Amino acid sequence: VVVLVLIVSFGLIGPATATQRQEASQHQAINEVIQRYIEGSKQGKSAIMKPAFHEQATMYFVASGNIHGGSIQGLFDAIDKAGPSPSLIGKIAAIDVNETTATVRIELYNWGGARYTDQMSLLKTNGAWKIISKVYHQTK
C-alpha cells in the first residue's frame, strides 16, 4: 500500500526503486519545511517559520549593487512588522537534494505586492531539514 501511494503521489512510472522512494520522501520532508516558511510569511507571524531555520541561518540580498542582510533574525523582524500577506503565493520551482545538503528555489508572488525569487540552502540535522542560508532577488 505504501509503495502504491508513493507511485500515485509522485507520478513514478512502474515499480519505484528504493532510491526513488528515498528521494521522494526527502523531497516531501523539505517541502514541509518550506511550506512552514511560506505560511509564516502569509500570516505575518515569524513564530510559524522559525522552526524551518537553523539558529545560525543568514539572509542576504543585493540592492543597487550593495550586499544587505545578515542574521536570519532580520527576516523574522521584517515579517512581524509587515503583518499578514494573504494574497502571497509561494511555488517551489526546484529542489536539489544531496544526502545531508539541499538547495531549493522558490518563486514568491504578491508578497505585499512584490515578486521575489528565493534560493535556500538546507542541512539535514539529526533527521530534520533546516534552512541555513537564504539569498533572494526582488524582481522590479
Partner 1 sequence: MSEVKVIKNVIQGYIDGGVSGQSEQMKSAFHEKATMYYIADGEIQGGPIQGLFDAVDSIGAAADLTGKFADINVNETTATVRLELYNWSGARYTDQLSLLKIHGEWKIISKVYHQH
71 is a site residue for partner 1 (CB under 8 A): no
19 is a site residue for partner 1 (CB under 8 A): no
State the cell numbers at 133.
542560508
Residue 122 CA to its chain's centroid (Å) = 9
DSSP code of residue 17: P
54 is a site residue for partner 1 (CB under 8 A): yes
CA-based nearest residue to 122, from 27, 9, 25, 24 = 27
101 is a site residue for partner 1 (CB under 8 A): yes
Q: Which stretch binds partner 1 (CB under 8 A): 13-21, 32-40, 84-92, 127-135?
A: 127-135
Q: Which stretch binds partner 1 (CB under 8 A): 2-10, 20-28, 38-46, 116-124?
A: 116-124
Task: In whole angstroms, give the CA distance from residue 58 to residue 47.
Answer: 17
Task: In whole angstroms, give the CA distance from residue 100 to residue 79.
Answer: 28
Site residues, partner 1 (CB under 8 A): 54, 56, 58, 60-62, 65-67, 70, 94, 96, 98-103, 105, 117, 119, 121-127, 130, 132-133, 135-137, 139
